[in-house]
Chains A and B, each alone.
Chain A
Amino acid sequence: MESTIKQYTAKDFKSDQYVRWCPGCGDYALLNTLQKVLAEIGTDPKDVATISGIGCSSRLPYYISGYGFHTIHGRGAAVATGVKVANPKLTVWQITGDGDCLAIGGNHFIHSVRRNIDINVLIFNNQIYGLTKGQYSPTSKMGFISKSSPFGTVESPFRPAELTMGARGTFFARVLDVDLKSSQAAMAAAAAHKGTSIVECLVNCVIFNDGAHSFLAEKENRYDRVIILENGKPMIFGKNSDKGLIAEGFNLKVVTLGENGITEADLLVHDSKNKDFTLQMKLAQMEGPEFPVALGVIRNTESDTYDAAIEQQIAEIQAKSKIKCFDDLIDSCEQWEM
């Protein structure tokens, strides 16, 4: 075998399967971005395991070369955890949607985040159930009209960032399907992060919830309505890069550079590495039109991962124990001749 490191391209991560999402679906862009990121991080496709539950987004593993497992509704996080704990050498991506992850799979989601398994999770959030043809989801806005809520929903949505940080998550990023550059950067950061990396992907469903994120996605005004956060950089946004965020008491405030003597030095500097998530949570909670919606890596901290901790515990116990095999175990038990 050659010992040189092979350079991969996105093509190396395309499977032989025909992609069967609806024309115009936001999932295509995210699939392409993921394939680029996989090539960029340079893992051999055979060492990549892509795990999903059920839903439109969960078809994605069929389209990635390497090993994939399309499982059952809501359980992707638990299956992915099993894969990673069984073989920590694998690079594990879990692909899920707002219904799969936050409704039926909510319990597995918060527990995988709490355990900090070293997996990367892409939540395709289109605020709708697509594969069952248009029911409201746990991220649909209050009052949302759908086939199962003809008079509007009467329940508050989840914000994935709040759940992630509430479950003591170490990594949270948010991307927008059509914003390719920031999506690729955030997914690459998720891949590099050790622990459960949650990437909320705001994605459009052209059939059942077209325009769910159009306020943000609209090309002309997009950068007035989103802020792409980068660690260590001042919080500037706007198509002319003339707006910013400052702290006013415990609240955030949008300011315009040059107005009222505000300069770049007055702006908040993004600290995704801060273990205290107070400010990160504030940023993640921002909504338009008053505030820009935060994209990019919002939280990126370090903590021991579950899979590595298990390996370490096994190594420590094995070094101490006299029991090395089944026959030793048998010898160790209380026994007598009969």
Chain B
Amino acid sequence: MSSTNKTEAENVVIRFSGDSGDGMQLTGTLFSNLSAILGNEILTFPDFPSEIRAPLGTLSGVSGFQVNLGASKIYTPGDDADVLIAMNPAALKMNYKSIKKNGIIIIDTDSFKKSDLDKANFTTENPFEELNISDSIQIIPVGLTSLTVAGLEGFEMDNKSVLRSKNMFALGLVCWLFNRPVDKAIDFLQTKFGKKQTILDANVKVLTDGFNYGHNLHLAVNTFLIDKSNEVVKGRYTSINGNKATAWGLIAAAEKAGLQLFLGSYPITPATDIMQELAKRKDLGVKVVQAEDEIAGITLALGASFAGSLAATSTSGPGLALKSEAIGLAVMAELPIVIVDVMRGGPSTGLPTKTEQTDLLQALYGRNGESPVVVIAASTPDDCFHYTYMASKIAVEHMTPVILITDTFIANGTSLWKLPKMADLPVIQPNLVTPDMEDVRVTSRDPESLARYWAIPGMEGFNQRNGGLEKDYITGAISSDPLNHQKMVDMRQAKINYISTKIPELMVEGDVDADTLVIGWGSTYGHLKTAVTNLAKAGEKVALAQFNYIHPLPKNTEEVILKYKNVLVCELNSGQFATYLRSKVPGNYKQYNKVQGQPFNVAELEEAILKAVNSL
């Protein structure tokens, strides 16, 4: 038995960090899934460079994976880490500022030699002193590389493969540190490497060695015990990232609507996984065309929409810019389409693998002409499923393009997801023509919702011509009549406004009767919720309203906002949602903005909110 003490913790944040080829993403994923199976809440945040393999050991090549494990409900992947696994000096340098005061750093001593320190631009031989790392942080030096090599003696493997297994030693060590049995991790490895027996055996051996190393060395370290979360609603769960949840939301919506799913898309970081996930699903009849460019991605999808499919395209900010003319065509032709924008740092190529909320105004207004579309933003990796499903439902029921906004943070991050059943999902009724309808023109519409009736090529009796030219309200023939154009412009906006009667009202959380309302939208929910909850525990009165439906806004938006004396809009851009809100509900909005390619952290939000509260 180990003589170490076990500390019970509510939640623990652990960060794996190394070269982009060190397998940190895999190690982190295995560890977080393992913890979820043992009953913990999990939220993860992979943070990696855009270079596939930057020069070994350099600062630009550091790849990180952070997971927050909770014995109760957690909303963020955590700010600072309790435990950092630094596979090399560069990883240490990139992460030392975000370690908790009493945290633990595990380093691979074999990669802390002079040459390694040089690559990370250290000027002395003691990186800890050089970085002025506090004594309260405990450093655990382990010869990860040499112990891995020793453990794999006798295995018929080349040197490169041996070295690549060292991430499993780290995983084993972490399993010991967190009192995680390794057998579950071995199950995972079997699924992953089942067909490659030697690699499987090697990984299992190294994993077990790592665990035993911690166990046997009687390291003078407190290990962590995180209880099962008792706040989880009972049921079947998996862990899912936002991109996969988005892809599955489209699949579910198409099946519910009785439509074929079609995706036209072009590879772009960080949205590509959506296309890849859907490309796997030929068994469900999903048609994916990898287009020649972003414009073809959406125009292929529009062709499919014209032909009666639930059509979608997935992209990121630069691609959304290229698609804007075609989105205008979808507005004009009143064809349903879901455009998924996984936001990344911009402008231009910007920061392809980092997160930002800077595409909001582009989504709302980035087209020629009066061109209203529905804009919806998801908040968490798992609710990407829900909001994608709702985006699809709105698109085919109201005959409009819908832009669904997610971002790198939730697209790559994972959370627990309670598995849905098709029968429990809301009904989707595409606004199709019915055989009994007579004299249906291309502009004929439902008198209440104003949704155009969808006639699909092949249907008898509804032959019609659609297009991007303005059409006569009644006959559907092309028209440049001034008053008709005004009427059509007004109708297209009214059609979108009507959707506000079909979406949930804005909910206020926290202290509803406070004077200060914090407003956020999309993926900042977890950080804002945690900050507001922490402030409430400290006796502060703060309310929180998080928007998912951006255009149209929930119909009680004005009523909610006007109730508060003090409104603070927090977002990861220079104030785009605040600008938009000022145009919809004029008022005096305070702002807290950050544009650093990183999510908020809870501490900075608490400070910003407190400042706003105290300004009253």
Contacts and interface: CB of A to CB of B under 8 A. Distances in A.
B237, B282, B303, B478: residue with the most chain A Cβ atoms closer than 10 Å:
B303
A317 B458 contact: no
A151 interface: no
A80 B284 contact: no
A41 B229 CA distance: 68
Interface stretch (B50-58, B286-294, B369-377, B399-407): B286-294
B420 interface: yes
Given A75-B295, A78-B296, A330-B421, A335 B236 contact: yes
Interface stretch (B71-79, B114-122, B466-474): B466-474
A323 interface: yes
B458 A75 contact: no
A69 B309 contact: no
A87 interface: yes
Contact of B309 (A70, A86, A320): A86
A7 B340 CA distance: 46
Contacts of A321: 283
A338 B232 contact: yes
Contacts, number: 196
Nearest to A315: B282
B24 interface: no
Contact of B302 (A66, A79, A314, A333): A79
Contacts of A61: 465, 467
B185 interface: no
Contact of B262 (A82, A108, A336): A82
Interface in B462-497: 462-469, 477-478
Contacts of A78: 264, 291-292, 295-296, 299-300, 303
A84 to B, nearest CB: 8
A128 interface: no
A87 B296 contact: no
B131 interface: no
Given A79-B302, A323-B283, A46 B458 contact: yes
B463 A86 contact: no
Contacts of B460: 46
B467 A70 contact: yes
Contacts of B478: 62
Contacts of B421: 327, 330
A260 to B, nearest CB: 51
A334 to B, nearest CB: 6
A51 interface: yes
Interface in A310-338: 310, 313-314, 317-318, 320-321, 323-327, 329-330, 333-338
Interface residues of A, number: 54
Contact of A87 (B285, B295, B458, B467): B458
Contact of A85 (B33, B289, B293, B326): B289
B16 interface: no
Contacts of A81: 289, 296, 300, 303
B467 A71 contact: yes
Contacts of A334: 33, 191, 238
A86 B232 contact: no
A337 B38 CA distance: 10
Interface string A81-117: 1111111011000000000000000011001000000
A51 B235 CA distance: 49
Contacts of A111: 291-292, 296
A83 B307 contact: yes
Given A45-B463, A86-B304, A329 B281 contact: yes
B37 interface: yes
A93 to B, nearest CB: 12
Contacts of B455: 67
Nearest to B296: A78
Given A79-B300, A325-B284, A338-B237, A67 B465 contact: yes
Given A82-B264, A82-B289, A338-B235, A324 B283 contact: yes
Interface string A154-179: 00000000000000000000000000
A106 to B, nearest CB: 10
A266 to B, nearest CB: 45
A70 B308 contact: no
Task: Find the residue from B234, B264, B283 having the highest chain A CB count within 10 A.
Answer: B283
A107 B294 CA distance: 11
B171 interface: no
A314 B422 CA distance: 22
A86 B303 contact: yes
B36 interface: yes
Contacts of A83: 303-304, 306-307, 457
B248 A329 contact: yes
A49 interface: yes
Contacts of A71: 299, 302, 329, 467-468
A184 interface: no
B451 interface: no
A50 B480 CA distance: 23
B458 A90 contact: yes
B274 interface: no
B329 A72 contact: yes
Contacts of A333: 238, 419
A243 B311 CA distance: 55
B272 interface: no
A335 B238 contact: yes
B260 interface: yes
A138 interface: no
A17 B477 contact: yes
A65 interface: yes
B338 to A, nearest CB: 14
Nearest to B335: A69
A70 B33 CA distance: 50
Shortest 9 CB-CB distances between A and B: which pairs? A82-B303, A70-B467, A321-B283, A86-B304, A68-B465, A82-B300, A67-B457, A86-B307, A79-B303
Given A329-B251, A337-B235, 14 more contacts: A46-B459, A46-B460, A72-B326, A78-B264, A82-B306, A85-B289, A85-B303, A86-B260, A87-B308, A318-B283, A326-B252, A326-B422, A338-B229, A338-B416
6 contacts: A69-B303, A81-B289, A85-B287, A327-B422, A333-B419, A338-B229
Interface of B: 33, 36-37, 39, 191, 228-229, 232, 234-238, 248, 251-252, 255, 260, 262, 264, 281-285, 287, 289, 291-293, 295-296, 299-309, 311, 325-326, 328-329, 333, 416, 419-422, 455, 457-469, 477-478
